[in-house]
Amino acid sequence: NATSKLAFFGDAGLGLVQSVESYDRNELFAGHSTHEEYATGVVLRLGVGLAADVAPRWRVLLAPLAMDLMIGPKFSGWMPTLGVAYRL
């Protein structure tokens, strides 16, 4: 018997990130240029979301307000997250 339970949650974490940063641009006098580099850095993740238990072992997660602040790579981002979790 699966009962649907809803819960709000907060998410915070610190981790390691490996990213590929690339760009492709047309410049007026320099012509066409491309660049690609690999970057390793530290990421701080902060998020708020909603979790729903849809079955005894299955949970659906939605975090529409999630921010990844990266130190090392040349960008940080707003990363809304949708996920499914299975409990053993």
Question: In the predicted model, what is the mean pLDDT of residues 53-67?
Answer: 91
Q: What digits encode the pLDDT tens for the residues 70-84? A: 887 777 788 888 999
- Residue linked to tokens 């690999």: 38
Choice between 85 and 28, residue whose per-residue pLDDT is larger: 85
pTM of the predicted structure, to 2 decimals: 0.59
Q: If we measure between CA atoms, which residue out of 1, 13, 9, 6 comes closest to residue 59?
A: 6
pLDDT of 4: 63
Q: What is the pLDDT of residue 2?
A: 52
Query: How far apart (Å, rounded) are the C-alpha atoms in residues 88 and 70?
Result: 32
Whether 38 contacts 19, CB under 8 Å = yes
Q: What is the mean pLDDT of residues 2-30?
A: 82
